[in-house]
Amino acid sequence: MLSGKWSENDDSKNKFVLGPVVGAVGGYEISEIISVNAELLLIKMGGKTKYTYWEEESRSINEQEYWIRERYNCIQLAVPVRANFGDDFNFFANAAPYCTYKFGGKWKDSDGADGKIKWGTDNTTGDNTWYIDPKYNGRFDFGLYLGGGAGKKLGPGRLEVDVRFGLGLIDLNKFENKDQKQAAKDNGYKAYKSRNISISFAYLFGLGGDSPTRFYE
């Protein structure tokens, strides 16, 4: 999901949506406690935005609700630094800088309409494809994961579950100049930054050394 507001009168509400995560991880144990990983992941992520508006019907004012859901296909590189505690059954805490690149997606709204999301400025296909102008909307994100998990030796490797909360650090909206951005802030604009929660499972194989997880992927 995204956190942020266009103005002080913006009453939209941002919600999380579910999406799958697949990928590969490799790492090295610096010591019995500290290890460093490298992760290359394919992620489907996005958010659901709800809007409330008022509509006059039959001489009365009725509150209406509209929502739109966006899911983006992303490739992500993360480098977690972990503190490990335990042996056969272990717990760990981690912090991971990450970068994410969007390369398309899909949208759907409460009226039943849907379509694809593409990056560009040419919308001449005549269908429901959204074209997002990269001049004003960033497709690259940088942020930090914080979390932890647990693992257990199982067969030749280790089974682990990892839970994280992701904090995007970049405003995904772009402005033509500083004056335009300052004018938006004066009107109550708050930066649109990504927020996500991930739960992942991994099975790690040892590739060398005395420890089955000295090197792993």
Quick one: pLDDT band at residue 10, thresholds 50, 70, 90? confident
Which one is predicted more confidently, 65 or 190?
Answer: 190
Percent of the residues in the chain that have a pLDDT greater than 70, as a whole number = 87
Tell me the pTM. Answer: 0.80
Beta-strand runs (E) in the chain: 2-5, 13-15, 21-29, 34-57, 60-78, 81-86, 89-109, 114-119, 130-132, 140-154, 157-168, 190-205, 215-216
Contacts 24+ apart (CB under 8 A), 110-117: 110/65, 110/66, 110/67, 110/68, 111/66, 117/70, 117/72
pLDDT tens, 148-186? 999 998 888 889 999 999 999 999 998 888 899 899 899
Question: What is the model's pLDDT at position 99?
Answer: 96
pLDDT at 42 over 90: yes
Please give the structure tokens belonging to residue 195: 């927020």
CA 121 to chain centre: 24
pLDDT tens, 73-86? 999 999 999 999 98
| φ/ψ of residue 185, rounded to 5 | -65, -40
Instruction: Give the number of other CB atoms < 10 A from CB of residue 181.
Output: 16
Question: What is the model's pLDDT at position 166?
Answer: 93
